[in-house]
Amino acid sequence: MATEIERKFLVTGNDWKSVSPTYYCQGYLSRDKNRTVRVRIAGESGVLTIKGLTTGASRAEFEYSIPVSDAKALQQLCDKPLVEKNRRVLDYAGMTWEVDEFLGENTGLVIAEVELDSEDQQIELPPWVGSEVTDDSRYYNSNLSATPFNLWTDEARRKS
């Protein structure tokens, strides 16, 4: 079984914009808290992903490449809205960071993720990383599909 261990942070400033982005569009066939089933188109690739329940910063994850034509057809079956974003991949202090600048109904939200080998792995944070939101389920992409960032109240945004 594959395990994903990642931490998420809000992003500040613009230094992360130095890398060209790849456009992502993803939807959810299931957003159950015990399992999510995601269909993603990333650039010219299609991916079907099944993720288990998150415990701490870890969860089971299974990913399978699928034809883009299948991904597009499956996205028609997904809950709306689809989650759209531009992703930039940056290296900092020996770690690979993915910075997602959300589009569409989640415009204004920018999140950085870093995958770890263990939950207690020590990392150096880039200067453009702000508050950690790993444990805040509002920032899960599956939840951004159900309750997009543009629908959050100002008070909810300040709690970040």
Query: Position 141: which residue type?
Result: N
C-alpha dist (Å) from residue 64 to 36, 47, 50, 122, 149? 14, 6, 9, 30, 28
User: Do the strands 95-102 and 83-92 form a parallel or antiparallel pair, or are they unpaired?
Assistant: antiparallel
What is the pLDDT of the chain when averaged over all its residues?
Answer: 93
Structural domain harbouring 122: 3-158
Which of these is catalytic: 23, 24, 28, 64?
A: 28
Quote the number of domains for the chain: 1
pLDDT digits (tens), the chain, 160 positions: 588 899 999 999 999 999 999 999 999 999 998 999 999 999 999 999 999 988 888 889 999 999 999 999 999 999 999 999 999 999 999 999 999 999 999 999 999 999 999 989 999 999 999 999 999 999 999 999 999 999 998 766 666 5
Q: How far apart (Å, rounded) are the C-alpha atoms in residues 58 and 50?
A: 14
Q: How far apart (Å, rounded) are the C-alpha atoms in residues 140 and 148?
A: 11
By C-alpha distance, which of 19, 21, 10 is closest to 129?
Answer: 10
C-alpha dist (Å) from residue 59 to 49, 54, 62? 12, 5, 10
User: Do the strands 129-132 and 58-66 form a parallel or antiparallel pair, or are they unpaired?
Assistant: unpaired
- Catalytic status, residue 28: yes
**Which two three-digit tokens encode residue 130?**
């702000």
CATH of residue 134: 2.40.320.10
Query: Position 96: which residue type?
Result: T
